[in-house]
Amino acid sequence: MANLPPDLQSALTSVAGVRRLLVTSDFDGTLAPIVNNPADARPLPEAASALIALADVPDTAAALISGRALEVLRSLSSMPDTVHLVGSHGAEFDSGFSHDIDKALLATITAELNAIAAHRSGVAVETKPASVALHVRNASADDGAAALDEARAAAGAWDAHLTEGKAVLEFAVISTDKGEAVDILRDQHDASAVVFFGDDVTDEKAFRRLRDGDVGVKVGPGDTAAGYRIETPDDVAAALAYLLEARLRC
pLDDT, tens digit (0-9, with 9 covering 90-100), for 134-174: 999 999 999 999 999 999 999 989 988 898 888 999 998 88
Q: Is the pLDDT of residue 75 over 90?
A: yes
Contacts of 114 (CB under 8 A, 6+ apart): 125
| CA distance linking residue 178 with residue 45, whole number of Å | 24
Q: Where are the alpha helices (DSSP H) in the chain?
A: 6-15, 45-55, 70-77, 103-118, 141-154, 178-188, 204-209, 233-249
- Report the side by side order of strands in the sheet with 60-65: 83-86, 60-65, 21-25, 193-198, 215-219, 228-230
Contacts of 245 (CB under 8 A, 6+ apart): none
What is the rounded average pLDDT of the residues 12-40? 95
Chain segment 182-208, per-residue pLDDT in tens: 999 999 999 999 999 999 988 999 999
Strands 193-198 and 215-219: parallel
| CA distance linking residue 90 with residue 108, whole number of Å | 23
Identify the structural domains of the chain with CATH numbers, from first to last: 6-97+176-249 (3.40.50.1000), 103-172 (3.30.70.1020)
Give the pLDDT band (50/70/90) at residue 38.
confident
CB atoms within 10 A of CB 163: 21
Are the beta carbons of 85 and 74 closer than 8 angstroms?
Answer: yes
Task: Return the ∠ at Cα 52 (arms to 47 and 58), rounded to 5°.
Answer: 130
Task: Return the ∠ at Cα 181 (arms to 197 and 235), rounded to 5°.
Answer: 10
Q: How many CA within 13 A on the CB side of residue 241? A: 16
Q: Is the pLDDT of residue 240 over 60?
A: yes
| CA distance linking residue 86 with residue 94, whole number of Å | 7
